[in-house]
Structure 1
């Protein structure tokens, strides 16, 4: 089966390539329907990754957040037309201790090999999780980043001590919003405080107990644990603030990605006996838990719909470029490509 792949070959330039999908293999063929643009995709598209990284990665099809309809499964386990979310993390081995998303041998779509900007994608069957057929597809499109938050919160439950009276989340962007929504439902009895830099964005966290601009924090406020969803150059200030406000023996979860090393006040980490842990990407179990939470708390999907941004019908390379350029200029929200390929 001849397949068309849309690869980024240089910053801001997509080109068509072709590959062959073997219909006699054990893989399941999925036709993408809704693709969501991530910050990582933008770093490649705009060429802001280091030159040696760009040279190593390109040409490559972007997008690791996507859903689609099953086209073909030789075994019949998946039926044509079934709606599935595609898992970009692709392990090549299993470890009894290290999760699939932390194994150094694992591959990740749109970061080393082709992502989901294709007419059809052939995946191992364990890289698919079924979605309800009636789910809002524009929301389901970014299930991958949602699963990253769910993964971090599942680790939060493992690593934090039992006193969870007050938890602070730093970051008022997409990742902070998603993490906060799921934290609210997974820990309904905990006082949830959001710290951010944009008053308009903070106003959307209607489910939180308190929101504060980071330069207007009330005196005497303390938290038991903290979750960092900031990333980039602002990470240092956010982590410093967390260390200042957190109670001794609290836990700080780090989710934000930075291209550069971030200094941390280790003196106070030692004095307070703090625990810091990082979370990155997600695995099959996190996707399954995410879909389970969608079904258990359908109102979550309503909250997530608030961050659906531009929706771009894509039927050509010009449309792909338009979607990425629109995404650069957004204030907040997820840009969704409706994949009419």
Structure 2
């Protein structure tokens, strides 16, 4: 187990805390070499995807083809709440949705080593009356509504996104999902009250999966709308009905999206009832859970964060509420406040 954990965490903790300084995280020569191998430049645009149930964060970058390609998948040390969107300040929910992060939302001096603010609530969430603030991706292994990556993990992610923003990208998109949005996973959650919201998220997920291009995100009709041009320009009221859409969609993409929708319907019809989980509190990547079980919360906290911030609710993290039935199948792989948010 120890050997397996070491391999899984090689991108986050293998180099140790001695590599962390008090200055803003910088791209390492190793990371730059990895980018070069994948035909990516440090200044090329970046996109981030987050998956709660799998406790993983993906960093994508534009490569020589002009499309996004997966640069690296990072194991997440801790997230809190349960599957579903954040709606209320203090509910411990980590948000789900589409966010855009600019340079001013990066914090190199976070009390959790380094962080970037997701910008929750976004324009749609604000219009719907959702409350909360300071929802971050940050270091350490403690969450009360944030996504905690460890100091080493967030340091590398911070350096990557900062370099892309400095290279001319005005802001980068963060797509936060409850799980990898395959047809099978959607079917296994078909009885969840959040399913209508998740089906909307899946439209953006699929658009990116099929094109490897950042989806254009609009908000109207109380929902996200993707890759759509509207008569009269972008909708200004997220709660009002969407204006008439102009037909600009790629026919090949529309065919793929339609086929995926049919695949979801077939999967749902084949599942009699969806999985039910007892709510504990969030999740933790299996590699970190193994460390927690082996070393205990205090020793683990000291090994992944220079500030030795306590692991949040370690008993809940060990419980692993998603360890029952097979809920997800991994897809083929091609920030700062102490409030309760």
Q: TM-score range by the shorter chain?
A: under 0.3
**Which protein has the bigger strand share?**
1
Which protein, 1 or 2, shows the higher relative CO under an 8 Å CA cutoff with sep ≥ 6?
2
TM-score (normalizing by structure 2): 0.26
